[in-house]
Amino acid sequence: MLLQGADGSSRSYDTLEAAMNDAVSGDTLVLQNAVSLSSTLVLKDGVTLDLNGQTGGNASSPCAVTSTASPVFRVEAGGSATITNSMGFTTVKTSAASVTVVENNGTLNLGTNIQLSGGTTPMGSAAIISGNAPKLAPHTRYV
């Protein structure tokens, strides 16, 4: 995990959670490998998460973030966060019984070429993102 600071600095982290804990508004977290989460990750206000085209080694079913938690990510009330994907196409997926991928209580900006998947939930299901509607870029979908 690479944290690119708004001030131009860069720091490496072993986990996405550790990088998010240290991130401040204006920072970008760039995945260097696919990650697996077991608990909900709060996306800090003003922070961008770049999935960076990570596939988890599976080009036919790419998945940058897998999780047993639901939601996978949470945007707190009054907060604003961005999930982007600077390369290729990839997915954020939960295998939890509840299929919410993002609990959006603030403002969520979704970049291009990202798929949010809640397992067997029908395509376009509102349960994939709960709370406020996200701001979507082209080629973003819920499955």
Whether the pLDDT of residue 125 is over 80: the answer is: no
Pairing mode of beta strands 35-37, 65-67: parallel
Query: CA torsion angle for 4, 39, 76, 1 (degrees, to 10)?
Result: 0
As a whole number, the mean pLDDT across the chain is 86
Environment class of residue 82 by beta-carbon count within 10 Å: exposed (0-12), middle (13-18) or buried (19+)?
Answer: buried
pLDDT confidence of residue 120: 52
CB 72 within 8 A of CB 43: no
Q: pTM to 2 decimals? A: 0.88
